[in-house]
Structure 1
Amino acid sequence: MPSVNNTIQLITREQAEQQGTHLIGKPGRAQESCDDDLAKGPWEFDLAEALAGTPGYGPGASNEDAAPAATPRQGQLPQEYKDASDEELTSRILAAKAELGDRVVVMGHFYQRDEVVRFADFLGDSFQLANAAKARSEAEAIVFCGVHFMAETADMLSGAHQSVILPNLAAGCSMADMADVPSVEACWAELEAFYGTEPDADGRVPVIPVTYMNSSAALKAFCGERGGIVCTSSNAATVLEWAYERGQRVLFFPDQHLGRNTAKAMGIPLEEMPLWNPRQPLGGNSEDVMRNAKVVLWQGFCSVHKRFTTAQIDQARADFPGVRVIVHPECPMEVVDAADESGSTDYILKAVAAAPDGTTFAIGTEINMVNRLAAQYPQHTIFCLDPVICPCSTMYRIHPGYLAWVLEGLVRGEVLNQITVPEATAVHARVALERMLAAKPRSAKERPERQAAAGAPGA
C-alpha cells in the first residue's frame, strides 16, 4: 500500500486513477487531495513564511486557522537536504542513528508520515511518547517527530541532562493556538467575578480549570497554579471525575468537542455546557446559562477531526453494510453520536488489533494513522471516513530531510531546534501533569458518587 505522501504525489501528477490509488479512502474509489501543495517540500513553506514575515500552518490547513504572530517559524533547511533523494536521506538517517546509538531516541506520533515513522524508536500518542521519553534517561537527545506542544511536554518530563529536539519548528497545532494565556486569564477573571472564589459546603471551589494535552506549556502551568489538571483523549472522563470531586464546574479548553463528548457521556445535559467565546462578555452567554453551567467549553477545535461528518458515516454504512465506525472524540458531537464507537488513537489501534478477521472499519481520525492501520492489518478492510486525503498540516511539516539534518547535527555535537520550557513555567505545568498521572478511573460502584458530584441525571 502506498504511503499518504506517495499517494498525494500521484494525485498531483494526475496519475491516481491509472495507478489504482484507491486504498486510503473508500476502497474502489479514486482519491483527491485537499491541497495540491501538500506534494511540495515543507521547506518551500518555511521560505514563503519567512518572505511574507508571517507564520502559517502549511498546506491543507483550514482557512479558519490563522496562526498567531508568535507561532514559531523554521529557518531554512540546508540545500543538501532539500536536494537529497529518498534513498540518500534514508542512508544518512540510519548512519547518524547508528553512530549516535543510545545517545539519541527518536519519537514518532501516530499522525506522522510513514517516511518519518519508519525511523522512530517509539510510536504512540502525545502522552505515550512523553512517558517513553521520560523512561529513556540514558538518551542525551530526544528527537520528537510530532508537534510543538508534544515536544514541550517531553522537555518537562525528561531529565535536565537531556535535550528535546523538534525537527521542524513550524510543526505547531492550530487547536493548541486557539487558547492563549491572555484570553484564558481574561476568561478566568470573568468566571471568578461571576462565581466568586469561595468553596461550597462540601469544600468544592466554584471552577476547576482542565486543559487538554493539546495546549501550550504555559496553559498547563495556568492549570497547575489554580488547582487544575491536564487530560488526554483517553483519560478525559477520569480527569473530569477528579475535577468534580474538587469543583462545582469545569472550564475545559481548548477543544470544545472532546469536552462536550466526554461530559455528555457522563450524563451532563447539553444545556449545562455553554460555549465560551473569548471575544464576548461572559463568553457570549446569559447569566442564567452561566449559573447552570457544569462545563464551560472553550471555542476551540481540531481542523482534521472537524472534517468528519454524519453524511460520511451514512455513505460508509450504505456502501458496506455491517461496517464498524470508530471516530476520535475530537470529532463533532453529532459524528460521535452517529458512530458505533469513539476513542483515542490508542483505543482505535487496539480495537482494530482485537477485531475478528474480515472486519470492515470506517475510521474518523488522521489519514496517516488510518492508512498505516490498513497496511498493518490486511485481514481487515480499513478506510478513512473522509474520502479526501487531508493529513494534519502541521505534522506534515516534518520530513525526512529535517530528521537527517538534526541527527547529523547531533553527530557533530550540535543541538539544533532545541525546545526548552522555562523552569518557572515547567514547575507549575508538571503539577497539572502529575495530577493527571495520579487520577485513577472509578469503579462501577463509585460512579453514582461521581454523577452526584457533577450534578448529572441519574444521581
Structure 2
Amino acid sequence: MIRLQEPLPKDYLDASDAELCERIVEHKRRFGKRLCILGHHYQRDEIIRHADIVGDSLKLSQQAGRTDAAYIVFCGVHFMAESADILSKDDQVVCLPNMTAGCAMAEMADVLDVEACVEEMAELSGQAKIVPITYVNSTAAIKAVTARAGGACCTSSNALNVFAWGLRPAEQNGAGADKLLCIPDQHLGRNTAFALGFAAPEDCVVYDPAQPNGGLTAQQVRGAKFILWKGHCYVHQCFHKEHVEKLRREMPGVRIIVHPECPRELVALADASGSTEQIIQAVEAAPAGSKWAIGTESNLVERLARRHPEQTIRLLADARALCRQMFRIDPAHLLWVLDNLAEGRVVNQVTVAPQVAAEARTALQRMIDIQPVKTVTPNG
C-alpha cells in the first residue's frame, strides 16, 4: 500500500541536530503526561533518547493499551501504530511521525489473498480445522481475518506459546487446530515449528499467494501441520552461514544469537535464537568478557555494544543490516508532529475502522494474554 507523507517545511530540514533535540525535549516538558512517545528497538539513537517507553512489538502493544496519554506518538512502523490505535482508548490520538514508514513484510500479505488462502486450504485439507497465527507484523485487516477464523496474533517473543495454544485441544483452553496457517513470515513459522518438535520436511509447506492454491496439492496440505505464508523480513536475510563460519574461526568462544525471522538453516547454525527483548536479556545476563555475534537489526546491536563495553558485541554480518522503513522516522519528522500537536493540529493520525478494529482487537488481545517466553531458544 502506498502511503503519502506531507513534505517537511524547509526549516525542519535546515535545523541542526542539537536544535531538533532541544525543541523535542521542550515539547515533552510542556506536554507532560499528555504525551507518550513509544520507540521500537530498531530505531536510531536520536529517536530512542526521546522515547518514554522502548520495547519490541509485544511490549509496545501492551503499553499502548495502558497509557493514559492523550497523544501517543509511535516511533515505529505503520502496523505498530495501527495496533496502538486498536488497543488505545477512543479519546486517544495515535500519530506516526512519517507515514511512509511501513513494513515490507506486512505488505507481502494482502487481506483478500489471506481470505482466499483460508478457503483454499480448508478445501484442500478436507475441511480440517485450520487456525491462523498471524505475526503482529501485519495489517489490521489481516488481524481481523485472523480473529474471525478463531486465531491469534503473535510476536517473536511469544510465538512458541501462541503456536502451542493454537494446537492445544479446545477442552484444554486451546484453539484446537488440526493445522496452523502462519502469516506472513515463513521463517518465524518454520523456526517455531522446529522448536515445538516438528522437524520432518512434510510438517511445513509454503503457501505462495501468486500461485493457484498457493502452489500446493491436497496431499501436501493434508500431510502438513504448518502452512507458511511466503513472506520474509529483508533485514534478517542479510545474515548467512558464511558469516557464522567466519566468526567461529576468527572469534573462538563467540556465542551467536539470531532473530527467528532468519532462515532456518542459519538458526540451526547459531547457538540460540530469540526476539529483540530476549536477545537484550541474554546479553544483560552475560558475564564480563562474553563475546557475541548477533543477527538482527544494526541499531539494536550497536546500542547493546555501547551499553556493555565489558563484553565484545558485534553484528553477525560485515555490513550494516538496517530497516529502511524504521529509518524514515527521524528527529525532524518527530518534531514536526509535536509542533503541530502543540498548535492544536493533529497530523499523521493513524486510525483503524471501528469494525476492523473490534475484530483485530480480539486477535491482539489473545496475543497479549498468552505469556512470552522469557529466554532465548537454545540449539542442540
TM-score range, shorter-chain basis?
A: over 0.9
> How far apart are the structure 1 equivalents of 2:44 and 2:369?
33
Q: Which residue of 1 aligns with 2:370?
A: 439
Gaps of 5+ in 1: 1-69, 198-204, 443-459
Separation in structure 2 between the aligned mates of residue 428 and residue 418 of structure 1, nearest angstrom: 21
The superposition leaves residues 142-186 of structure 1 with CA deviations (integer Å, 9 ceiling, x where unpaired) of: 000000000001111111111000000000000000001011111
Which residue identity is paired with 1:213?
V
Q: Which residue of 1 aligns with 2:173?
A: none
Q: Which residue of 1 aligns with 2:265?
A: 334
Aligned: 1:239 with 2:162:
yes
Alignment correspondent of 1:311: 242
- The residue that corresponds to 1:168 in the other structure is 98
Match of 1:229 among 126, 131, 152: 152
Q: Secondary structure at the match of 2:344?
A: coil
| Counterparts of 1:374 and 1:124, CA distance in 2 | 17
The 1:108–1:206 alpha-carbon spacing in structure 2 relative to 1, beyond 3 Å, is same
Equivalent residues of 1:151, 1:164 under 8 A apart: yes
Structure 2's unaligned 5+ residue stretches are: 169-175, 374-380
Which residue is 2:121 aligned to?
191
Deviates more, 1:281-290 or 1:308-317: 281-290
Identity of aligned residues (%): 49
SS of the counterpart of 2:282?
A: helix
CA distance in 1, matches of 2:370, 2:342: 40
Runs of 4+ in 1 over 4 A off after TM superposition: none
Matches within 5 A, 1:12-411: 70-137=1-68, 139-197=69-127, 206-245=129-168, 246-268=176-198, 269-411=200-342
Give me the whole-angstrom Cα distance separating, in 1, the residues matched to 2:125 and 2:305.
Answer: 50
CA distance in 1, matches of 2:126, 2:91: 43
Residues 223-282 of structure 1, C-alpha deviations (whole Å, 9 max, x = no match): 111111101101111111111121100110100000000001111123220111111122
Question: Could you give the per-residue CA deviations for residues 181-213 of structure 1, whole angstroms, max 9, x where no partner exists?
Answer: 01111111211222344xxxxxxx520011001
The AA in structure 2 aligned to 1:187 is C
Name the CA distance, whole Å, in 2 between partners of 1:439 and 1:135.
17
Does the Cα contact within 8 Å between 1:317 and 1:323 map onto a contact in 2? yes
Tell me which amino acid in the other structure corresponds to 1:381. T
Q: Is the 8 A contact 2:256 2:271 kept in 1?
A: yes
Quick one: distance in 2 between partners of 1:376 and 1:311?
A: 28
Give per-residue Cα distances to partners, 1:403-457, cap 9 Å, x unaligned.
Answer: 1111111111111100001111010011111222333589xxxxxxxxxxxxxxx
- Greater radius of gyration (CA): 1
* Amino acid paired to 2:357: A
Q: Matched residue of 1:274: which SS? A: strand
Residue aligned with 1:95, SS: helix
Q: Pick closer, same or farther for the CA change 1:155–1:441 going to 2, 3 Å.
A: closer
Aligned residues of 2:124 and 2:217 also touching (Cα < 8 A): no
Aligned AA (2:153): V
* Contact 1:151–1:166 (8 Å) recurs in 2: yes
- Range that drifts further, 358-367 or 72-81: 72-81
Q: Which residue does 1:38 correspond to in 2?
A: none
Is the partner of 2:134 in helix, strand or coil? strand
Hey, what's the Cα distance between the residues in 2 that align with 1:348 and 1:439?
A: 20
C-alpha separation between the residues in 2 aligned to 1:271 and 1:402? 47
d(CA) in 2 for partners of 1:275 and 1:195? 14
Give the secondary structure class of the aligned counterpart of 2:97. coil
1:174/1:257 Cα in 2 relative to 1: closer, same or farther (>3 Å)? same
Q: Matched residue of 2:339: which SS?
A: helix
Question: Which deviates more from structure 2 when the two are superposed, residues 88-97 or residues 370-379?
Answer: 88-97
Letter aligned with residue 247 of structure 1: A
What residue identity is the alignment partner of 1:230? Answer: C
Task: Give secondary structure in 2 for the equivalent of 1:308.
Answer: coil
Distance verdict in 2 for CA 1:279–1:231, change over 3 Å: same
Total equivalences in the alignment? 365
1:395 maps to a residue whose letter is: M
Please report how far the alpha carbon of residue 287 of structure 1 lies from its aligned counterpart in structure 2 after TM superposition. Answer: 2.3
Is the Cα contact below 8 Å between 1:264 and 1:270 reproduced in 2? Answer: no
Q: TM-score, normalization: structure 1?
A: 0.78
Rounded to whole Å, the distance in 2 between the matches of 1:154 and 1:280 is 34
**Letter of the structure 1 residue corresponding to residue 227 of structure 2:** V
Whether the aligned pair in 2 keeps the contact of 1:146 and 1:395 (CA below 8 Å) is yes
Which amino acid in 1 is paired with 2:54?
L
Q: Can you list the C-alpha shifts for 1:30-87, whole angstroms capped at 9, x where unaligned?
A: xxxxxxxxxxxxxxxxxxxxxxxxxxxxxxxxxxxxxxxx321212111110111111
Look up the equivalent residue of 1:150 and give its one-letter code: M
Q: Distance in 2 between matches of 1:252 and 1:308?
A: 22
C-alpha displacement at 1:96, in angstroms? 1.2
> Hey, what's the Cα distance between the residues in 2 that align with 1:390 and 1:366?
5
Q: Provide the alpha-carbon RMSD of the alignment.
A: 1.3
